[in-house]
Amino acid sequence: MRSAIYARVSTLNGQSPEMQLAELREYASRRGWEIFGEYVDSGISGSKESRPELNRLMSDAHRRHFDVVLCWKVDRFGRSLKHLVNALADLDSYGVAFVSLRDNLDLSTPSGRLMFQIIGAMAEFERSLIQERVRA
């Protein structure tokens, strides 16, 4: 199985995606999955729908360059529930699975899809709290 790894950090001050990447590489290795590519957005908010590396990942998914997207946590993929639902529906229509390592989430299962809805709503709530603190 061919996998794509996606990582994101929203700020550049002291944060590095390397920890996310290391865990995702290890997971792919344990599953015996080939890593087609790594897509890393640094210094970009998860609330933005347009991110250079995420856009490239979605384009490659549409071309079926890989079978599964590995992400460290759902909130690294996005913090807007609408964006998450749309992006994951696109992946599903391309025949590409989605696995969130830390959330223990595999969207190829009914329970995984239910958990995704709950986790996505929590990520959007957390983003709202962050916005509120920034304005205060």
Q: pLDDT tens digits for 18-48?
A: 999 999 999 999 999 999 999 999 877 656 6
**pTM reported for the whole predicted model:** 0.81
| Pairwise CA distance, residues 24 & 123, whole Å | 20
Residue 64: its pLDDT value, please? 98
How far apart, in whole angstroms, are the C-alpha atoms of residue 133 and residue 109? 36
Domain boundary assignment for the chain: 2-135
Query: For position 54, what pLDDT does the model report?
Result: 95
Contact 3, 27 (CB under 8 A): no
CATH architecture of 2-135: 3-Layer(aba) Sandwich (3.40)
CA 92 to chain centre: 14
pLDDT string in tens for the chain (136-residue length): 999 999 998 876 657 899 999 999 999 999 999 999 999 998 776 566 678 999 999 999 999 999 999 999 988 998 777 888 889 889 989 999 999 999 888 987 888 888 878 877 887 788 888 888 888 7
DSSP state for residue 69 in the 8-state scheme? E
pLDDT at 78: 84
Q: What is the pLDDT of residue 60?
A: 99
Report the pLDDT value the prediction gives residue 90, as an integer from 0 to 100: 93
The answer to whether 3 is a known catalytic residue is no
Please identify which of the residues 3, 10, 50, 128 carries the catalytic annotation: 10
